[in-house]
Amino acid sequence: MSASIVVVVNVVADLVVIFRTQSDVEASIVRGLLETHDVPSMVASDLPHSIFPLTISGMSQLRISVHPDDAERARQIIESHRTAIPNGRVVRLRDEFETLERAVAYRFRDRGLLEHAMTHTSRANEDVSGGVVDNESLEFLGDAVLGFIIADILFREFPDFDEGNKSKAKATLVSTATLARQAEHLALGDHLLLGRGEEKTGGRQKQALLADGYEALIAAIYLDGGMEQARAFIAREFAPLIAEVREHGLTGRDYKSALQELVQSRDQPPPEYRVAGTMGPDHQKLFRVEVVVQGDALAEATGQSKKEAEQEAARLAIGKLGSEN
């Protein structure tokens, strides 16, 4: 289910071809790479007698062209992202998601699914070809898969919890703050495919984008390897959090209390929490909260409730204060 490439057969004559491939996934990666460096490009196919627009999937050679003024810079950008092998030859553009596959301990059979999962809507909206599909549908599916598996784990691990306690634990485990934290552990933000605008506004660090990407990743694993592979990934990833629920109770560790103890041990006043803003529709509103100590904003976090955002902001603040020691 790799994102398909919509190609144009009639290419403007004065464009310079700087890359050729038979892989639509590779063509998409190269175009995305050029876009992040503000180099516009065009994809064309050598397949004759094509109907416009045409979706190619390994049937013919795809050519990526740029304006002559950008040709040399485009080649340098591509060359810097190739992988050399011992005999000095240069092979296809390296798999941009190889490190992510290692981090999740799962090798995709269809790597296009992983690319799809990492494609934010901002990237799709900026693609003039119309051939890039965002990860919103995968996010929807991943949310359902994650919710089911977490509910199953809680049912088996905490037989003494009543329905309300299980629901409360589940809400904590699948919250935006928790999923963003899980995504950070995988360095998932480094692999998100973002539009230029989202890239420039720090999209790789935004909790909502990280959480959405994490859910899309779960869906991609489920579609590629089935429920057992998705279950294995989630069980492995959430094992420390399940242990935390067992040790500290339904809400896990109380980061707000821990932060207060930390700052008071330094003879500083208690931290203050301020709502810095909200985003999203009323039924899916996210709260952005910052934690302030002695007038300095130590950290900022987003959550589906003020309490969730405050806990995550406190966690980030503890990490920041700890790194300053």
| Residue 131, token pair as written in the block | 């051939």
How far is the C-alpha of 260 from the C-alpha of 10, rounded, in Å? 65
| Residue 216, token pair as written in the block | 């899309």
Q: Give 185-217 pLDDT, tens digit per residue.
A: 999 999 999 988 888 888 888 888 999 999 999
308 is catalytic: no
How far is the C-alpha of 21 from the C-alpha of 306, rounded, in Å? 49
Q: Give 9-56 pLDDT, tens digit per residue.
A: 444 458 899 888 776 667 777 887 787 778 898 888 765 444 333 343
Residue 303: its H or E element: strand 296-303
282 is catalytic: no
What pLDDT score was predicted for residue 252? 56
Question: What amino acid is encoded at 75 in this protein?
Answer: R
Q: Give 75-108 pLDDT, tens digit per residue.
A: 888 876 664 434 433 334 445 688 899 999 999 9
Q: Side-chain half-sphere of 158: how many Cα atoms within 13 Å?
A: 23
Question: What amino acid is encoded at 34 in this protein?
Answer: L
Tell me which DSSP letter residue 294 carries. T
**Is pLDDT at 238 greater than 50 in this prediction?**
yes
Whose CA is closest to 61, among 49, 45, 50? 45
Q: Give 241-292 pLDDT, tens digit per residue.
A: 999 888 866 555 678 888 888 888 888 888 999 998 888 777 778 888 999 9
What pLDDT score was predicted for residue 46? 61
Q: Which of 115, 127, 143, 290 is catalytic?
A: 143
How far is the C-alpha of 127 from the C-alpha of 112, rounded, in Å? 17
How far is the C-alpha of 237 from the C-alpha of 149, rounded, in Å? 12
Please report how the helices 306-323 and 176-185 are oriented relative to each other, as an axis angle in degrees rounded to 10.
30
**Structural domains for the chain:** 5-94 (3.30.70.790), 136-248 (1.10.1520.10), 255-323 (3.30.160.20)
What burial letters (b/e) apply to 113-152, b meaning 16+ CB within 10 Å?
bbbbbbbbbbbbeebebebbbbbeebbebbbebbeebbbe
Whose CA is closest to 303, among 256, 257, 240? 256
Q: Which of 134, 215, 308, 310 is catalytic?
A: 215
Q: Are 230 and 149 within 8 A, CB to CB? A: yes
